[in-house]
A and B are shown apart, each in its own frame.
Chain A
């Protein structure tokens, strides 16, 4: 009878699988205005040079490298090794407009027999990448793996170094580190993984895999494209959560010292009971908390009162009162639980950095959710912080959706659909918690499917996009999970979820999603544990998730981009201490609200710093809207933000292109009146970063010009300031609305040692093939687009002009006049 049930069940699911894949997006010809759309996936075109192997351009995700000497990837490699493109298991949006991502579980494809026997040797440090989505181009930071090498003391299973592996190619992986932005816009990765076989030995790749937490903290500087090390933590941590505090310091909780072989497997209350009722990890996670001083670059333990048992990658958020909220969620290696004190994870709590004490708030979801309390592998999204009429922020709300739970223990196997809101009132300095229902996720799916490990992305409009994940906990039985590919959006007004478009690629474990400055969402990642903890083997038929890693990305365009009218552009942000004047290219009367979105940094569906802060509108005039600064680092912690204005066109809310801004102390946004660089080369089609052929919108959205707003904008020109001088660069638009002429009068802009201010004689020596085309106007050579203006024996300006402009002296004269020359 049971077998019949099994077969019928299998057939039913197969029928479901053969039906259209669910959601409006799968039913052929979905309306992007209603469900949005996913772009075609795109992937890095090359596999990087590594360990002496050359860079290879290929459409394949992986290639097989020939055996080289004793084996580049460790002892015992018998067939060379398989080298793959990194997948975005961690993803962050840098202030310079580029996305940085890092791989997860690199090297699993080289497991020949079992990941639990070999990964300590074949595992690799995960590589990092820079992705420019505008140009679909990639670059590599230096060093490419972040450069950490853990010196943490390890107590091996067998004392001494004889019976553990010691190779250094996987001693400081980015895998399982947490990422945050520092106040100056640099990016910090906290913790990570060191792989060894313990026991094992260097003569063999077989042993018993161990994943160790590391104490390293590394910092990436987007300006130099380099990783460097800063102070190490006092505790090694694998799966920690770091939260940026109101003063820009980092508060870190949880993490593990070692994952696989428990140092303490016995029941602490009844030592005679059978060992380890299920956990294979340590009996407890790291309970010590630490704080990183972002000025000094050092970590300090917070002491006994700040200790707390929390799940791995605990879901933490900074509250408007400066306390750090734990939202009863995290990673638990299900279904048997993990720590002896895991019952305490059901309690939401808030940590006060001033007193270094926790305030326990109760169990979220009681009374509103059928499965209250702890959630494993769920997302926890902080909903927009909205000011009251006085401009104060006294409420915070958190959306918990999907994940796994189980009545008997934290952690289950089958994904759940339930979502709920946890509301905190912080008006009198402490927190009062309440919860409310937020509806079922994936409400129309048949059969009803929950979402394990879904990414939750808060959009500028206050809606929440859920992407990726699976129908069950992959960690419990890897290889059997069925991907959830239908995205869905939560509407905070109706408190309901609605399925939207269908993702192109299945992305289950270690998927990521980030909001981009153009209000689209970059979706990537996927790195599985090897099937049944053996080796990467995808079950046939395309039903279960593909094993291995997916290096591709796809971009989701939400339905709001189909609202009528163009996306607004923010052309300048100026202001005084208390307020900001935001100038746009649309009437301020159309703006519904102004929102600061913290630059995202997500891994393991966690982004502790994620927040949208609505700024109170003071006034509207023409194309300028004046808003009040948040006035508190607890509301707007120091660091990079994207500033959006949401345009309301007949009730359809459309976010603008964001302006990249930086918050300083007390949440004060620095105005974006940046200038062009003091020194700039003059190329065939550009002066510095201002290029011929650009449209107005493109100039404003140009990531490299993100922090440079034109001083003057008219129908014909954009005029830019130049650092350290009162001289200007001017872009002149032609009749086709593109830049046809760029001029500069800045004294350090030039070629061949000739600059504005240089003598005409020097110019003549440097440009012997110059051609005079009008009085006081020369082309650098007869075919050059570069122009040099001379008056009274001195070079007055440089310019570059389009071919069309150069063909017509009249046009050129008009454009030069518009440029003020």
Chain B
């Protein structure tokens, strides 16, 4: 009992004072710490740079410029080359070895050391590479109390990955920010759920939402695609899809049945895909079109409408719109509208509190380990 009391006192203290002021800023392993690219300077056409979310943030460069892009280490030596002939690694660079794992720990061979002459080994024939660049992982960061209290975003640290493209300097810079878990983008279906006799429609929620239409009625249902072309004909005895519909192509790509988004031109070509009277498809129209809602929306504490969508169908010559909405739903609202879910007010905060405590303990442990590690390992990390 005494142990539990002590733990609760500690947890309450940490939850109130430290959540989540200290967190390892590897970024994506902590949902509230996000790594962002601000600028690629200069930014030539054909060079794509992006952050890949992983256990720690990774930097991905795809180079179609026809010139070599080289990423430089902290000491200014190139350790990675991405170009038209593929991807090359400088296997005498310590940074190259460190870029292979999220924690920046490695035991490189003796030939790799600061100042060693570059030795390039091709590691891929493609022109894209993704690596853990630890300049984006600034170690332990602190989130200000004001940001936590106000549940506001906060810029925690800036980072820059120097490089060169065709011999000219090219820097990728960005920052790490605190982005509180504040809610979800939710797709909902307004109806009609039974648009015609024998016809029923249900929404399939997901990252890319879908619709499920059942037709037991006498008349077939034609679903129109987002390119204005008929996409599917769903009858009691089977389903046909238009192979030249953009919505069909997107559905097939999302389902992994097709690789490219190229839509063939021409009049509709129908293919029977099922002998059942129902069909499920993934529909881009029903999803929120941006990566994240504007900050003005996510800063709010109430549910906000982000957009409306509609999918037209036709039954017996009559056009009917299946309508729905995308909304920003703050976490507090989610809890309130799901009465059978855990009724634990502050559960998210507590979760974050525990996470903060875990991160603090882990951070302390990591620091202790690093302090105890042999000198060589210290040099590698430093």
Contact = CB atoms under 8 A, between A and B. Distances in A.
Contacts of A326: none
Given A116-B103, A203-B107, A280-B55, A448 B342 contact: yes
Given A343-B282, A344-B210, A206 B291 contact: no
Nearest to A76: B107
Contacts of A260: 54-55
Interface string B113-130: 000000000011100000
A449 B148 CA distance: 26
A362 interface: yes
Interface string A449-491: 1100000000000000000000110001101100000000000
Interface stretch (A7-15, A560-568, A613-621): A7-15
A81 B123 CA distance: 33
Nearest to B250: A269
B106 A265 contact: no
A447 interface: yes
Contacts of A5: 346, 349
B340 A343 contact: no
Contact of A273 (B17, B106, B185, B291): B291
B351 A18 contact: no
Nearest to A278: B53
B172 interface: no
A371 B338 contact: yes
B254 interface: yes
A3 B29 contact: no
A753 interface: no
A13 B212 contact: no
B291 A274 contact: yes
Interface stretch (B66-74, B312-320, B353-361): B353-361
B52 A10 contact: no
B347 interface: yes
Nearest to A340: B254
B11 A337 contact: no
Contacts of B56: 116
Interface in A254-299: 260-261, 265, 268-269, 271, 273-278, 280, 283-284, 287
A14 B11 contact: yes
Given A2-B150, A10-B15, A268 B254 contact: yes
A407 B184 contact: yes
Interface stretch (B1-9, B136-144, B217-225, B264-272): B1-9
A541 to B, nearest CB: 2
Contact of A373 (B54, B205, B340): B205
Contacts of A273: 291
A731 to B, nearest CB: 54
B145 A533 contact: no
A83 interface: no
Contact of A117 (B103, B210, B344): B103
Interface string B200-212: 0010111111101
B141 to A, nearest CB: 15
B52 A341 contact: no
A586 interface: no
A440 interface: yes
Given A112-B369, A200-B101, A10 B351 contact: no
Interface string A237-269: 000000000000000000000001100010011
Given A208-B102, A450-B341, A543-B11, A265 B1 contact: no
Interface in A10-33: 10-14, 17-18
Contacts of A408: 184-187, 205, 329
A323 B201 CA distance: 25
B284 interface: yes
B19 interface: yes
Given A6-B16, A541-B7, A532 B359 contact: yes
A345 interface: yes
B345 A363 contact: no
B346 A343 contact: no
Interface stretch (A92-100, A380-388, A411-419, A671-679): A411-419
A5 B149 CA distance: 10
Contact of B340 (A335, A413, A416, A540): A416
A158 B123 contact: yes
Q: Give the interface residue-count category, chain B.
A: 35 or more
Interface residues of A, number: 105
B228 interface: no
A447 to B, nearest CB: 5
Interface string B27-61: 01111000000000000000000111111100010
A415 B342 CA distance: 7
A1 B334 contact: no
A651 interface: no
The listed residue with most A CB atoms (<10 A of its CB), out of B52, B256, B355, is B256
A242 B239 CA distance: 30
A398 interface: no
Interface string A517-544: 0000000000000011111010111111
Nearest to B187: A408
Nearest to B89: A158
Contacts of B341: 370-371, 414, 416-418, 450
Nearest to B253: A268
B208 A341 contact: yes
A149 B19 CA distance: 45
A649 interface: no
Instruction: Specify which of B53, B206, B253, B351 lies most central, judged by the most chain A CB atoms within 10 Å of its CB.
Output: B206
Contacts of B6: 540-541
B348 to A, nearest CB: 8
A6 B100 contact: no
Contacts of B105: 113-114, 117, 206
Contact of A537 (B10, B52, B347, B361): B361
B154 interface: no
B339 interface: yes
B278 interface: yes
B256 A341 contact: yes
B151 interface: yes
A406 B207 contact: no
Contacts of A413: 351
Interface string B96-114: 0000111101110100000
A253 to B, nearest CB: 15
A477 to B, nearest CB: 5
Which among B1, B145, B205 has the greatest number of chain A C-beta atoms within 10 A? B205
A114 B255 CA distance: 35
B194 interface: no
A378 to B, nearest CB: 14
B291 A535 contact: no
B103 A450 contact: no
Nearest to A265: B52
Contacts of B103: 113-114, 116-117, 206
A565 B36 CA distance: 70
A342 interface: yes
Contacts of B60: 275
A447 B344 contact: yes
Interface of B: 1, 3-12, 15-17, 19, 24, 28-31, 50-56, 60, 89, 100-103, 105-107, 109, 123-125, 132, 145, 148-151, 184-187, 202, 204-210, 212, 214, 250, 253-257, 261, 276, 278, 280, 282, 284, 291, 329, 334, 338-351, 353-355, 357-359, 361-362, 365-366, 369
Given A17-B4, A341-B256, 8 more contacts: A1-B149, A2-B151, A5-B349, A10-B16, A18-B4, A278-B53, A370-B340, A532-B30
27 contacts: A6-B349, A10-B8, A10-B350, A11-B8, A13-B346, A17-B4, A113-B369, A117-B105, A159-B125, A204-B107, A208-B132, A275-B52, A275-B53, A278-B53, A280-B28, A342-B206, A362-B202, A407-B184, A409-B206, A450-B341, A471-B344, A472-B351, A533-B55, A535-B365, A537-B365, A540-B6, A542-B3
10 closest pairs, A vs B, by CB?
A541-B7, A9-B346, A343-B206, A14-B8, A408-B184, A7-B16, A204-B107, A480-B354, A343-B210, A343-B204
